Structure 1
């Protein structure tokens, strides 16, 4: 699905906050298989690349037009991340044609959000930690935002009153790339809805250890953050679980991912793995709906584990959409949204590409 959110931005610069006014998840339809083909490096003609790029851009315009129409709002800025079909810095491609959105919404459009940082010597990922700080940082205690998307990425947030220089963020391991591949090949479904199959399975400890070893991050220094982008682990993991029942394969993969997350975060928060830490985890992304994964995380982390919907009223599927709106508004305000402590380099030019347009007189609803 394509997640679109209409976000009201209040304030400017580092003092801004965002409230979701309306949101919608839009089915990808046939374009989903096209995007998988591109991401898997399937050879195709320039015409095919161009067709997929345009179709994906039209789909964005459809979704944004619908969410704005439903809310009765004309936005003055749209922010498009696109689909990451390749990421191995210094090479990265977030596929999207922004022009259908610009022409149909008649608003300014920001896109290509990572290239400036990569060209400046950074990893170009993760890019959401500053937005996480604005959306989720607590005045009272640190917390960790864990996005359970194609990859697991984590943002370690200081208190809201602390310096943004204390924010840390990195990718941890593959998540939906693995779980959805398992669902397609073993359950013959797009994904394991609510983790029902995994909840009905048993964990194979031997295979679980092998999967965790395959997906766990290699040691990195803070000067060179970890940035992932292929999901090649999925194919290897499918092969590891081939002799297991489908439900057991799903449960084993979920357990391995949860253990990898907990172990990595324990290490990063100076706890002695596998002893869990008490810092709250706020989970978002598609697999935050996977009850088996939520349960596994809770069992390996003795602090509270809550969804972003439970903690801040932001639906788990809309965290990234809301974050993109924040990043676009930051760029409008002249704030570089990538953090050197996260991506490894400071962007030397203003970030994101911009299509100018005429409708800029709606300050209460500045970004989608």
Structure 2
């Protein structure tokens, strides 16, 4: 049974003193490639990664998660089993992190909490009907009670639902963390997370100005899906396959003719929209196009959509920091830089946080916020009615 965030933290801690401000963050994103985990020390200014671990999803489990993204047979039962399996995978990553931490004379009892994002399989924050007494929702598969049982550490989960309940998108939640670690006084900085979906954070140089953040559209999701279908490889290593092809202007125009791209802020999206069915519909009439040309066009779609967002909302940025798996797609970064000639593009490891650790670190930070009764959302990003303490707490 989860403890509500309104319950005093002292009661949740059961009288045990917290030796360090250590939190674990676990992230399995829309790329569906596996679990990334970090152990963070948040005791002082900034964030300090003490350990990092990852665990790939088996191809059959990845396929199951993809199938649960759409209405399918017996999905409630299958979703529950998938949630259990995700919790078990999360626990494996936690044990890896604790093993590494033992070299630093730390153990599980030193960890304040685990922030467990879960695996998003539905994201419908805008489907609201007053007549039906309904509201939008977002659904992440997980079993945080099982994770707490397997690790013996307090778990914070279901971060997005409270923001949605307050009228927000529930996503993206990482801009608040980006503000903590990447903002620079007097300088506007843009941060682009290239996961399955691409999301942008615009960090103003003046503290009085609001942070902006939203989903730009597809990140790696469509590129990965096409690469797997055509080559059997889960992703285009370094973007080399796309670089061998030519962008198809007519196909690119059709891909960009998607109403989501012109929607006003706040907005968020996911595989509910940008999935293989969406792509197959757009590919009608291009069945004879070389596969590598389609891949080049999908890469250009991501680069163009993200660059348009930066030009519209972050044109004063002095730099673009890229994180997520897409940071390793060299061809994609080159295309981004070509669109943004006046804004230097670099990856987050130049700022001391490797690209694959940023999102997991964000959920460690969000767990820390929750455990200290501090809000984790930004209404300027999600459109929520106000700042809210996010997540439900499952005591150790």
Q: Same fold (TM over 0.5)?
A: yes
Instruction: Note if contact 1:216-1:260 (Cα within 8 Å) is conserved in structure 2.
Output: no
Shift of 1:231: 4.6
Aligned length: 341
1:265 corresponds in structure 2 to 310
1:362 corresponds in structure 2 to none
Q: TM-score, normalised by structure 1?
A: 0.87
Shift of 1:45: 4.7
DSSP-derived class of the 2:40 partner: strand
Superposition map of 1:163-182 within 5 A? 163=208, 166-182=210-226
2:358 equivalent to 1:319: yes
Q: 1:40 to 1:53 in 2, by over 3 A?
A: same
Counterpart-to-counterpart distance in 2, 1:348 and 1:210: 38
Instruction: Note if contact 2:122-2:272 (Cα within 8 Å) is conserved in structure 1.
Output: no
Shift of 1:43: 2.5
2:191 equivalent to 1:145: yes
Instruction: Note if contact 2:117-2:157 (Cα within 8 Å) is conserved in structure 1.
Output: yes
2:330 corresponds in structure 1 to 291
2:173 corresponds in structure 1 to 127
Counterpart-to-counterpart distance in 1, 2:259 and 2:221: 11
1:237 corresponds in structure 2 to 279
Counterpart-to-counterpart distance in 2, 1:171 and 1:124: 11
**Stretches of structure 2 lacking an aligned partner (at least 5 in a row):** 1-33, 126-135
**Deviations, residues 54-100 of structure 1 (Å, cap 9, x unaligned):** 11111111111112212213222111000110001112101111123
1:337 corresponds in structure 2 to 376
2:88 equivalent to 1:58: yes
**Deviations, residues 322-348 of structure 1 (Å, cap 9, x unaligned):** 111111111222221111111111457
Q: 1:24 to 1:242 in 2, by over 3 A?
A: farther
2:7 corresponds in structure 1 to none
Counterpart-to-counterpart distance in 2, 1:96 and 1:59: 10
2:19 corresponds in structure 1 to none
Q: 1:116 to 1:340 in 2, by over 3 A?
A: same
Q: CA RMSD in A?
A: 1.9
Choose which of 149, 164, 175 in structure 2 pairs with 1:103. 149
1:8 corresponds in structure 2 to 41
2:256 corresponds in structure 1 to 212
Q: Which segment is superposed worse, 239-248 or 89-98?
A: 239-248
DSSP-derived class of the 2:262 partner: coil
Q: 1:20 to 1:236 in 2, by over 3 A?
A: same
**Deviations, residues 227-261 of structure 1 (Å, cap 9, x unaligned):** 11335334333452532222211111111211111
DSSP-derived class of the 2:191 partner: strand
DSSP-derived class of the 1:130 partner: helix
Q: Which segment is superposed worse, 145-154 or 186-195?
A: 186-195
Counterpart-to-counterpart distance in 2, 1:5 and 1:242: 43
**Deviations, residues 101-150 of structure 1 (Å, cap 9, x unaligned):** 21232111100001111111111111111111111112341100101111
Shift of 1:44: 2.0
Q: 1:334 to 1:152 in 2, by over 3 A?
A: same
DSSP-derived class of the 2:346 partner: strand
Q: TM-score, normalised by structure 2?
A: 0.81
Counterpart-to-counterpart distance in 2, 1:45 and 1:296: 39
**Deviations, residues 156-210 of structure 1 (Å, cap 9, x unaligned):** 0023x613x5111111111222111111212222111221211211111221222
**Deviations, residues 15-50 of structure 1 (Å, cap 9, x unaligned):** x52111111221111321111111133222533222
Shift of 1:292: 1.1
Counterpart-to-counterpart distance in 2, 1:214 and 1:265: 18
DSSP-derived class of the 1:10 partner: coil
Q: 1:134 to 1:349 in 2, by over 3 A?
A: closer
Counterpart-to-counterpart distance in 1, 2:309 and 2:187: 20
2:51 corresponds in structure 1 to 22
1:198 corresponds in structure 2 to 242
